[in-house]
Every structure is written in C-alpha cells, then in structure tokens.
C-alpha cells in the first residue's frame, strides 16, 4: 500500500501513537505481507504519459477496483469463509490504492537516468532474466538465479510471490524477516560501522528512533556489476524487476528507510536509494504495509533457476549449435 505523498503521511503518522514494548520502543512487531501491491498491479515506475500525476483520477481508480473485484471473484469462497480481506476492499481503504507508482521521487515517478558507466555495465550484464540470454557457465547467472539474494533494497519491494515480512524486536535490535531470501538484523543506536572492505548482501544496517519513526541507514552493500565472468565481482541488482536484473552496485550505495505506524494495523514505509556511480540522482519509493496475523510464512526452498544448472547450460549450447543449420535451411 502506498503513501500518497510524504508530507501528508508524516502529518497522519504524528496523530497516531503506537503501543510501546516493555523497554519503551514503539512496537512494530507483527506480520506485514505486501502481496496486495503486486496483485493490484501498482507499478514501480509511473507510465510516462501520466507525467507528475501521483494519484489516479476517480475514474481510473474505479477501473482498478473493478479489476480487483474480478480477481476477488475467483477466490470468493476463500475470502468469505476465512475472513481474509479482499483486494478491492484493501484498495478502497489504503493510501496506496490511488497511487500511480511506488516511486514518489523523482516527481515523475520514474527512475533517474543511469550514469554512462552504469549503462554500459547494465547492457553487458549476464542474467537468465535477460531476453535471449545464452549460458556457457554459472557466471552467466545472477545472484537471484543462484538462490543467493534478490538484492538490496530490491528485497524490500513487492515481487510476484512470497511477499511475507515479519518484524521482531528486542532491546537494541529490530529484525526484519523476509519470506524470500533472508533476514535483516538492524542494530539500534550509535556504534562503529563495518570497515570499508567488509560488505554484505544486505549491507550494514543501523537504526534509530526519531519520535515514533524507525529510521534505518544501510551502507556497505556488496559492490560489483552484472557483467563480470568472475563471480567474486558480481553484485545483486538494487531493483526487483527482471528488466533491471543486471544493474550494478557502486561502492557508495546507501539506503535510508523510514517506518512509521499510522494506525494499529498499518505502517508507512519509505526507502530512499542513492548510488552516485549508478544513478544520476537518488530515488524514493513509498508504500503502506498492512498487518495480517493470519499470513503464514513457510520455509522458502529455492532451487537454482528452478532448474538444473547443468541442464540449462547444455540446452543453451545445443540451441546455439542448431542455429546455423536452421538458418541454412531457410
């Protein structure tokens, strides 16, 4: 669920005071799946023709709700018998419902241009998600293909499936458990950052409370490109869309996340990503999480590329060997 603009959300958040943990921090604990954003087809980027229009018109919103009602109809028994909130109902009651994109900055809701160096690496990238990608070895697969990570902050953005998220808290720590590929441990308060050579797929996350808002700043994310044949120099893409699977990650990449409870069952989430080696300016995505205590998170079992790696490579080689013969026969 999306915020419809940071100023409005901040004002609404200030009106709600969440309960406290036994040690006095705002209590964010719970299960917060974000599957509805994907189901409602709210895109990461806004369509170019919408320009800087961040919200749907009422006519456009009605069309979005109608599509959701059609989807709900396919699961009517599940919705009515289990008490699960339908997609259309979620849209009507969520700030996200009217939003035209997850990106709220830049104002046009589109990703900033890549730097020339990043564009070259992006174009040369190797990933099974690239159309027409050929495979000769495991280095032709990205970190997602190899079941290592979806990338960061990609892991915090909606994806086609497994959108469960749980928050745990203890004195000095907040833990974010993602249904797919891993758990983030956020240390609260001051303290030395990791030294520069030390990097992690999810980076070094440090948090602090600004009133009732949890602010998390992350640095030291694994650096690299999506093109190198040396897997030690490969990074994971910061974005979840398969079209961006080979985006590189620069050494100065960092994120700032803000989590604010706006009601007993809603969290306003915002993430700003900055990487001067890759994007010409920073970008911000914002949306709303909804509590769903009935959501079950199961063990995520990933098989590399959902296929046998050797079979994928052999099939690719065989297909390319047959191409000259096919062209000659035409």
> What pLDDT is stored for residue 4 in this prediction?
35
Helix (H, G, I), strand (E, B) or coil at 209: strand
> What pLDDT is stored for residue 202 in this prediction?
96
What is the arithmetic mean of pLDDT over 40-45?
84
- DSSP letter assigned to residue 238: S
> What pLDDT is stored for residue 182 in this prediction?
86
What are the tokens at 175?
Answer: 């833990």
Instruction: List Cβ neighbours of 61 (8 Å cut-off, separation of 6 or more).
Output: 91, 97, 98
Q: Please give the C-alpha separations between residue 290 and each of 12, 165, 172, in angstroms, as whole numbers.
A: 16, 10, 24
Backbone φ and ψ for 97, nearest 5 degrees, come out as -55, -40
Residue that wins the pLDDT comparison between 151 and 1: 151
Helices H / strands E in the chain, number of each? 7, 10
155-187 pLDDT per residue, tens = 999 888 888 999 999 999 999 999 998 899 999
What is the pLDDT of the chain when averaged over all its residues?
A: 85
Q: Check: CB of residue 87 under 8 Å from CB of residue 40.
A: yes
4-23 pLDDT per residue, tens = 333 344 444 458 999 999 99
53 burial (CB, 10 Å; 0-12 / 13-18 / 19+) is: middle
Q: Which residues pair with 266 in a beta bridge?
A: 263, 290
CA pair distance 213, 259, nearest whole angstrom: 6
Nearest one of 263, 253, 324 to 289, comparing CA atoms:
263
> What pLDDT is stored for residue 61 in this prediction?
73
Percent over 70 (pLDDT), the chain? 84
> What pLDDT is stored for residue 10 in this prediction?
41
CA pair distance 115, 276, nearest whole angstrom: 8
Instruction: List Cβ neighbours of 283 (8 Å cut-off, separation of 6 or more).
Output: 103, 105, 106, 111, 112, 272, 273
List the domain boundaries for the chain: 6-33+109-329
CA pair distance 64, 60, nearest whole angstrom: 6
294 burial (CB, 10 Å; 0-12 / 13-18 / 19+) is: exposed
Q: Check: CB of residue 60 under 8 Å from CB of residue 53.
A: no
């Amino acid at each position: 669920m999306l915020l419809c603009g940071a100023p409005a959300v901040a004002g609404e958040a200030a009106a709600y005071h969440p309960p406290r943990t036994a040690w006095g921090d705002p209590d964010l604990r719970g299960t917060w799946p974000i599957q509805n954003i994907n189901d409602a087809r709210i895109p990461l980027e806004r369509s170019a023709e919408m320009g800087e229009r961040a919200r749907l018109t009422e006519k456009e919103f009605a069309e979005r709700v109608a599509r959701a009602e059609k989807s709900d109809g396919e699961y009517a028994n599940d919705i009515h018998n289990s008490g699960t909130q339908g997609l259309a109902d979620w849209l009507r009651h969520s700030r996200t419902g009217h939003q035209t994109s997850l990106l709220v900055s830049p104002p046009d809701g589109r990703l900033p241009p890549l730097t020339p160096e990043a564009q070259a690496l992006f174009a040369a990238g190797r990933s099974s998600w690239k159309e027409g990608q050929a495979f000769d070895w495991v280095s032709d697969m990205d970190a997602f293909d190899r079941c290592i990570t979806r990338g960061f902050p990609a892991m915090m953005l909606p994806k086609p499936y497994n959108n469960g998220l749980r928050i745990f808290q203890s004195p000095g720590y907040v833990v974010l458990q993602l249904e797919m590929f891993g758990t983030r441990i956020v240390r609260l308060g001051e303290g030395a950052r990791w030294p520069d050579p030390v990097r992690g797929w999810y980076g070094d996350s440090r948090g602090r409370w600004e009133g009732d808002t949890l602010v998390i700043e992350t640095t030291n994310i694994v650096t690299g490109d999506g093109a190198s044949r040396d897997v030690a120099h490969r990074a994971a893409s910061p974005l979840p869309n398969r079209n961006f699977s080979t985006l590189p990650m620069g050494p100065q990449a960092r994120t700032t996340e803000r989590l604010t409870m706006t009601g007993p069952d809603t969290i306003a989430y915002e993430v700003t990503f900055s990487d001067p080696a890759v994007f010409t300016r920073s970008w911000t995505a914002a949306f709303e999480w909804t509590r769903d205590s009935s959501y079950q998170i199961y063990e995520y079992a990933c098989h590399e590329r959902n296929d046998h790696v050797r079979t994928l490579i052999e099939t690719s080689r065989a297909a390319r060997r047959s191409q000259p013969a096919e062209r000659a026969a035409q």
